[in-house]
Amino acid sequence: MAGPLRTAEPSAPPPAPGGRRGGLSGYLLLLPGGVWLALFFVVPTATLVATSLYDPSGSLQLGYRMTGHVQNYADSLQDYAPQLVRSFVYAGTATLACVVLGFPLAYAIAFKAGRWKNLMLVAVIAPFFTSFLVRTLSWQYILGDNEALVSFLRAVRVLGEDGHLLATPFAVVTGLTYNFLPFMVLPLYASLEKIDHRFLEAAADLYSSPFTAFRTVTLPLAMPGLVAGTLLTFIPSAGDYINSELLGNPQTRMVGNEIQDLFAAGDYPTASALSVTLMAAIVLLVFVYVRRSGTEELV
C-alpha cells in the first residue's frame, strides 16, 4: 500500500539540495529562449513541413487538405532544379568574392590601420544605416547602361559595343557580394585581431618568411572567423531574391524568386516543398563544410 506514496518521486535518486536548485533555475533561465524558439522556429518549421505535404489541388480560397503528398517534392524539384542549383552557384561565387575582398580588408583593419581602426570599422557597418532595398536599387544606377561605369568599360573595350552589366548574372553576384560583405569582414576581423603578434615573431624565429608565417600561423588562427564569415554570407545569399529581382533578368532567377512567386500565386504546397528542400540542402552543405574545415585546424 506504499504505492501512492512512492510515486510522488518515482525512482529519482535523492539529489543534493544545491544541485536540485541549480538544475531548476537552469531550466527557468532557459524558458524565455525556449518559448521564443518554440513559437518562432519550431512551430513555423513544423507548419512549413506540414504545408509541403498538402494536396496541391487545393487553393487558398477552397482550403487545403493534408494528404501526405510527398510528390510535391519531386514536382518542385523537377520544375525548379535549375534555379536551386543557380542559387548555390551565385551564393558560392558571391561568398568567394567576399573572401577575396573581405580578407585583405579585415587584415588591414586588424594589423595596419593603427588609429584609423575604429573609423574603418564604422565604415564597414555604415551601409546598414540605409535600407537593404535602397542600397540594392542604387546598384541599378551604378551598373546602368547609360552610366559612367558601362561607358568606361565600353570605351576600354572590356565590354562590347552594346555590352551591358545590369540584368546579368554578374550584376546579381555583385549585388550579393556587396550586400553581404560586412558579414564576412566583421567575424574575420574579430579573429585576426585576436592573434597575438608574438606568434608571428616565434614563426619568424623558426625560419618562416612572412608569407610562410601567414600560411602556417595567421591563416589557421583566422579560420574560425573565416568559417563564420562564409556561413554568414553563403546562407543568406542562397535564399536571397532581392538582388536577382532588382539586378537580374528572367534567366538569373534564383530559388528565392520562385518561392516568392509561388507563395504570391497561392501555390502553398509547392512553395513550402521548395523551401524545405532549400533549407535541407543548406543544412547539409553547411554540415559538410564545417566538418571539413573545422575541427582539425580550429583551436
Partner 1 sequence: MSQESAPQGAGADLVLSGLTKRFATFTAVDDLDLRVPQGSFFALLGPSGCGKTTTLRMVAGLEEPTAGTITLGTDDITHLKPYKRPVNTVFQSYALFPHLSIAANVAFGLRRRGRKQVAEDVERMLDLVELTGLADRRPAQLSGGQQQRVALARALINQPRVLLLDEPLGALDLKLRRQMQIELKRIQTEVGLTFVHVTHDQEEAMTMADTVAVMNAGRIEQLGPPEVLYECPATTFVANFLGQSNLVAGRVVGGSGVSGGGDGGDVVLDVHGATVRADRARAVVAQGDVWVGVRPEKVVLAPAGVAPPEPAGNCLRGGVVSDVSFVGVSTQYLVRMPWGQELTAFSQNSGHHERLRTGAAVDLHWSPAHTFCLDASQDAAAGVEPEDR
Binding site for partner 1 (CB under 8 A): 196, 198-199, 201-209, 212, 216-217, 220-221, 223, 297-299
CB-wise, 66 or 202, nearer to partner 1?
Answer: 202
If you write DSSP's letter for every residue of 128-188 in order, what string do you get? GGS-HHHHHHHHHHHT-TTSHHHHHHHHTTSS-TT---TTSHHHHHHHHHHHHHHHHHHHH
Alpha-carbon span 111 to 182, nearest angstrom: 18
CB-wise, 129 or 207, nearer to partner 1?
Answer: 207
Q: How far is the CB of 191 from partner 1 (least distance, A)?
A: 11
Cell numbers that stand for 34 in this block = 525556449
Cβ proximity of 110 and 237 under 8 Å: no
Residue with cell 487545393: 58
Q: How far is the CB of 220 from partner 1 (least distance, A)?
A: 5
Cell numbers that stand for 23 in this block = 538544475
Cβ proximity of 181 and 98 under 8 Å: yes
CB-wise, 27 or 211, nearer to partner 1?
Answer: 211
CB-wise, 181 or 200, nearer to partner 1?
Answer: 200
CB-wise, 9 or 297, nearer to partner 1?
Answer: 297
Q: How far is the CB of 285 from partner 1 (least distance, A)?
A: 25
Q: How far is the CB of 223 from partner 1 (least distance, A)?
A: 8
Q: How far is the CB of 217 from partner 1 (least distance, A)?
A: 6
Please choose, from the candidates 183, 295, 179, the residue with its C-alpha nearest in 3D space to the C-alpha of residue 247: 179
Q: How far is the CB of 106 from partner 1 (least distance, A)?
A: 18
Alpha-carbon span 83 to 74, nearest angstrom: 15
Q: How far is the CB of 233 from partner 1 (least distance, A)?
A: 23
254: amino acid identity, one letter: M
Please choose, from the candidates 178, 182, 196, the residue with its C-alpha nearest in 3D space to the C-alpha of residue 247: 178
CB-wise, 39 or 206, nearer to partner 1?
Answer: 206
CB-wise, 6 or 197, nearer to partner 1?
Answer: 197
Strand partners for 59: 63
